[in-house]
Copies of this chain bind each other. A is one copy, B any other.
Amino acid sequence: MQKSKGITNAKGITGCRFSLSVMSDNYAAMILDAIGRVNTRHVWCATDALSTVYRGTRPHVVEGVRAVFTAVNDGKTHITLDATFSSGCPNDQAADYVGTDTTPVMGDYGASFPVIGKIAFYPLGAADYMEHISAVAQMAEAFHVNMKASHYATELAGDVNNIFAYFNHVLAYAEENITHYVLHAMLSVNSPGLKRSESHVELI
């Protein structure tokens, strides 16, 4: 969709810290397999006991996380992705990233499948942060992503590829307009869904 830009300092680095949760006895093998199958030559990677961090140019990072989420989805197991995209932290340094690259990404979308989720967008240090949050919510419609306001997050639903294209667009907007920002997303596939949700409510 867009070519990556040259990185001259940490401000050109977008990162994502993400965790996959696989609701299956076989979770470890499924996660390792998915991560192993994703081409990550354009992003810097590190994993701790809780999550994996990708750092690089925005389109490569977004595409990498999309690819991992697509790779882990076997079409039946309930899986969630918790992802924190961010850029512009004043304490960030121009380290832990892979050099510039101009390979177009986000062109080959791979598998399509329906996803539900939630997002929260946090512009930091900005007095007009509510306006940016509102602008970001309004961008979803053009990507065919359905949004619903809720407490402490905006719920969303749509095709996985549309959702990641929307995330890339939100982060491009943030790059242009906000010094330091965080996009927190949780995505879910193969959820037992509303039926289970209703029994939750009854139990509470």
A interface residue numbers (CB < 8 A to B): 15-17, 19, 21-25, 27-28, 31-32, 35-36, 40, 45-53, 55, 78, 80, 82, 84, 86, 89-92, 96, 116-118, 120, 122-127, 129-130, 150-153, 155, 182, 184, 186, 188, 191-194, 196-197, 199-201, 203-204
The chain B residue sitting closest to A24, CB to CB, is: B25
Evaluate contact between B188 and A50: CB separation under 8 angstroms: yes
Evaluate contact between A84 and B152: CB separation under 8 angstroms: yes
Taken together as a complex, chains A and B put the C-alpha atoms of A50 and B92 apart, in Å, by: 32
Taken together as a complex, chains A and B put the C-alpha atoms of A60 and B199 apart, in Å, by: 23
Evaluate contact between B80 and A120: CB separation under 8 angstroms: no
The chain B residue sitting closest to A126, CB to CB, is: B125
Taken together as a complex, chains A and B put the C-alpha atoms of A49 and B194 apart, in Å, by: 5
4 further interface pairs, Cβ-Cβ under 8 Å (given A50-B188, A152-B182): A21-B21, A48-B155, A55-B151, A124-B124
Evaluate contact between A50 and B17: CB separation under 8 angstroms: no
Evaluate contact between A24 and B23: CB separation under 8 angstroms: yes
Copies of this chain assembled into the complex: 2
The chain B residue sitting closest to A187, CB to CB, is: B50
Given A45-B204, A201-B47, decide whether A120 and B152 contact each other with a Cβ distance below 8 A: no
Given A50-B117, A191-B50, decide whether A151 and B200 contact each other with a Cβ distance below 8 A: no
**Chain B: minimal CB distance from A3 (Å):** 24
- Which residues on B sit within 8 Å (CB–CB) of A17? 118, 150-153
Taken together as a complex, chains A and B put the C-alpha atoms of A32 and B200 apart, in Å, by: 6
- Which residues on B sit within 8 Å (CB–CB) of A45? 201, 204
Evaluate contact between B27 and A116: CB separation under 8 angstroms: no
Partner of A82, one of B122, B126, B130, B186: B186
- Which residues on B sit within 8 Å (CB–CB) of A122? 122, 124, 182
